[in-house]
Structure 1
Amino acid sequence: MAEASNSDIGGEKHTFKIRRLEISDKRKGYMELLGQLTVTGSVTDEDFDRRFEEISSYGDDHVICVIEDEWTGKIAATGSVMIEKKFLRNCGKVGHIEDVVVDSEFRGKHLGKKVVEFLSDHSRSMGCYKVILDCGVEKKVFYEKCGLTNKGIQMSKYFD
């Protein structure tokens, strides 16, 4: 666990710690935070626990990080990275960053940048030759500030 930053919010001193997701984080508002990004659906405690165990079984190939506000115990930010193993580039690896979100209460504190740095550093430590992510046009400037470069367009096909 590493210190992410310190901030004054409403006159209170907050300390943020960045670390990997823990199974107890559901009680700390993790699912509600993801709900600020997209639809989460109704995830029971049992569903969460099963998925947590499944993701944990992938080891360092799928990492979810969170930033916890130590003052309140609330999860303030999160993101994940999945390591893709390729045949290209001498059987290289690519990190795919996903689901980066900062709680609306904590935006503007550079927590999103800390999440992207944490996930990028993990990808580098895993031997990835690059890290990539998809984002909406409105997030382009933010990710450029995180050191990423626009390399094309995103295409998707959703399944019902």
Structure 2
Amino acid sequence: MAVASSSDITGEKQTFKIRRLEISDKRKGYMELLGQLTVTGSVTDDEFDQRFKEISSHGDDHLICVIEDEPSGRIAATGSVMIEKKFLRNCGKVGHIEDVAVDSEFRGKRLGKRVVEFLTDHCRAMGCYKVILDCGVEKKEFYEKCELVNKGIQMSKYF
């Protein structure tokens, strides 16, 4: 687990810990944080626990990380990556980063960049030949600061 310190606006020290999602993180505001990103719906504790176990069963091929603000115990940031196994590039692997979010209270502390770096490092360690991420135009500048390059257009079909 990596620990990072930064000063907040008032000059007080805050300590953040980046780690894998734990089943207890629902009580630490994880779902509310995701709600700042998109629609989450009403996920019961049982539904959360069941999905957590399902995701965890994929081992390192599906990793969700969080950054916890240690003094408050709140989840301040999150992101996930899924490793796709391919036939291309000598049966290579590609990491797909998704659901990067930083709580509005903790923005401006470089936590989003830390999440992207953590997930990118995981992909490198897993032997991926690239990592990709889809984002809206308004987020392009942020992800360029994370050393990602615009390589095309995202297309979607929602059901």
Provide TM-score, normalisation by structure 1. 0.97
Q: Where in structure 2 are the equivalents of 1:97-108 lying within 5 Å?
A: 97-108=97-108
Instruction: Give the match for residue 144 of structure 1.
Output: 144
Distance 1:27 1:53 in 2: 16
Distance 2:102 2:93 in 1: 27
**Gaps spanning 5+ residues in structure 2: where?**
none
Instruction: Give the match for residue 109 of structure 2.
Output: 109
Matched residue type, 1:137: V
1:56 and 2:56 correspond: yes
Aligned-pair CA distance for 1:9: 4.5
Aligned-pair CA distance for 1:13: 1.9
Contact 2:5 2:13 in 1 (8 A): no
What number of residue pairs does the alignment pair up? 159
SS of the residue 1:150 aligns to: coil
Residues 98-151 of structure 1 deviation map (CA, whole Å, 9 limit, x = unaligned): 000000001010000000000000000000000000000000000000000000
1:157 and 2:145 correspond: no
Distance 1:2 1:36 in 2: 25
Runs of 4+ deviating beyond 3 Å: 9-12
Matched residue type, 1:118: F
Q: Where in structure 2 are the equivalents of 1:3-152 lying within 5 Å?
A: 3-152=3-152
Matched residue type, 1:72: S
Provide TM-score, normalisation by structure 2. 0.98
Relative distance call for 1:24 and 1:9 in structure 2 (3 A) is farther
% identity of equivalent residues: 86
